[in-house]
Structure 1
Amino acid sequence: MVLLSFDIEEFDMPFEYGKDISFEDQIAISKAGTLTILDILDNYNVKATFFCTVTFAEHIPDLIKRITETGHELASHGYYHSDFKPEHLLQSKLKLEELSGKEITGYRMARMMPVDEKEIEKAGYTYNTSINPTYLPGRYNNFNISRTHFIKDNVLQIPASVSPLIRFPLFWLAFHNLPLGIYKTLASWTYKKDKYLNIYFHPWEFTDLNDFERFGFPGYVRKNTGTKMIERMEALISWMKAKSYPFGTFQDFIKTLNY
């Protein structure tokens, strides 16, 4: 099963590169990208999981309704994207349930940072997908963690997909920077080995990020964004459909596991 997911959040990434961006623009850019994603998924009849911050959800009630009513899964990405306290785990779950009318069973930490699994369990989540089991300079070194799903402190862990052996990550940055043919080869190798793929993206990737003065992003971040990202995502989904890879939400996937 292909677990396609999107971290929908206030677009605060320019702050990491020394640029200022208004809260209104953060919401507007992420909202535009989320609309584009939903249109693509509708066109290809694909179900996905949306990990959403409460801050963003409160500003897009129409999109939260569309996400849940069209069969996608809503999960928690925290209360705020750039601020975390342990109490946000439960607070975000309860608020997203209030806003959506759906049970929230999954969590993904902002920027895939470490989070206390005991706190995840205490907040009532079924699964956590906050681990990228590879090495990313300046971010994390997770070579010692299982590539595939496992249980820790009574919480199901579903790490982001990385290739067998060399653990090459298949997350959003790889998708932007690798030739599409090489990305497909790595994805196919990983799918055959693991029987599933867990790959994630963000709504702002589907908007044009080439304005360096505005966003400050290096070339490897802004490469293949906007229209090029839309084209690449459609090409990836079409290729996966041609190979008969089924798509599903994390909740769908968990039902197939023997835990």
Structure 2
Amino acid sequence: MILLSFDTEEFDVPREHGIDISLEEGVCVSVEGTRRILDCLKANGVKATFFCTGNFAQQAPATLRRIIDEGHEVACHGVDHWRPKTDDVLQSKQILEDVTGLPMKGYRQPRMFPVSDEDIQNAGFLYNSSLNPAFIPGRYMHLTTPRTWFMQGDVMQIPASVTPLLRFPLFWLSLHNLPQWLYHAMVRRVLRHDGYFVTYFHPWEFYDLQAHSEYRMPFIIRHHSGWEMVNRLDRLVKMLKNRGEEFITYAEFVQRKHPVR
């Protein structure tokens, strides 16, 4: 089983490097990236989960409608990606449900940072996917946390996939910068070991970042961005489909592993 997801937020990475970018511009970048992602998924006939911020949902409702109409899941990703607040868990759920007219079942904290388990449960979420169980300097030190799904009260925790033993992260930066054959080999290793694979990307990775020097993106982010990243995603999906792997949403995964009574 493949749990493919996209953190569908307003593009704010330039702010991490001292460059101001408006909400409107950040949303436009991510709308274009999401369009390219959806075209790729539609061409391959696979489903994914889109974790959306409240900002993105309110600014780009037509994009959310396309996500839903093409059979994908929408889940919550906070409200403002740049300035997370303590009440974002519940507020993001309210915003997304208002925009989509659908119940929100899952949550992912912006930048995979810690989030209150109590808040997640009180908001009525079925799952939380805010854990990257790896060591990434300046971001995560989660080498002692479970690396596969587990229950936290009534909520399923769905960590991003890392390789067994060494816990090498197989998230977005890895597909950008590793030789694709090596990334594919590590994905297959996880599938043999765990029986499923969880990964995530961002729409702005599929935007032509190399053509925008004003964003001052580090090489590891702009490397293979834009259409090159679309092609990398396409090759990854085709490799997994050729293996007979099934692409399911996170909500479907929860229902299969821990049916709601």
**TM-score, normalised with respect to structure 1:** 0.97
Aligned length: 259
Matches of 2:140 and 2:162 in 1, distance apart?
14
Moved more, 141-150 or 18-27: 18-27
How many angstroms does 1:176 deviate by?
0.4
How many angstroms does 1:84 deviate by?
1.9
How many angstroms does 1:159 deviate by?
0.2
Matches of 2:191 and 2:204 in 1, distance apart?
26
Determine helix, strand or coil for the equivalent of 2:198: strand
Residue 213 (structure 1) aligned with residue 213 (structure 2): yes
Residue 110 (structure 1) aligned with residue 107 (structure 2): no
Matches of 1:127 and 1:59 in 2, distance apart?
25
| 1:30-41 paired onto structure 2 within 5 Å | 30-41=30-41
Per-residue deviation, residues 229-254 of structure 1 (Å, max 9, x unmatched): 01111111111110111001001111
Instruction: State the one-letter code of the partner of 1:189.
Output: R
Kept in 2, the 8 Å contact 1:121–1:155? The answer is yes
Kept in 2, the 8 Å contact 1:118–1:153? The answer is no
Determine helix, strand or coil for the equivalent of 1:225: coil
Instruction: State the one-letter code of the partner of 2:89.
Output: L
Matches of 1:126 and 1:226 in 2, distance apart?
33
Aligned Cα RMSD in Å? 1.1
Matches of 2:230 and 2:82 in 1, distance apart?
27
Compared CA separation, residues 224 and 196, structure 1 to 2 (3 A): same
How many angstroms does 1:153 deviate by?
3.2
Instruction: State the one-letter code of the partner of 1:233.
Output: L
Gapped runs of 5+ residues in structure 2?
Answer: none
Kept in 2, the 8 Å contact 1:19–1:215? The answer is yes
Post-superposition, which runs of at least 4 consecutive aligned residues in structure 1 deviate over 6 A?
none
Matches of 1:163 and 1:41 in 2, distance apart?
25
* Aligned match of 1:131: 131
Matches of 1:74 and 1:216 in 2, distance apart?
30
* Aligned match of 2:226: 226
Gapped runs of 5+ residues in structure 1?
Answer: none
Instruction: State the one-letter code of the partner of 1:169.
Output: P
* Aligned match of 2:235: 235
**TM-score, normalised with respect to structure 2:** 0.97
Q: What is the identity percentage for the equivalent residue pairs of Structure 1 and Structure 2?
A: 45
Matches of 2:139 and 2:66 in 1, distance apart?
33
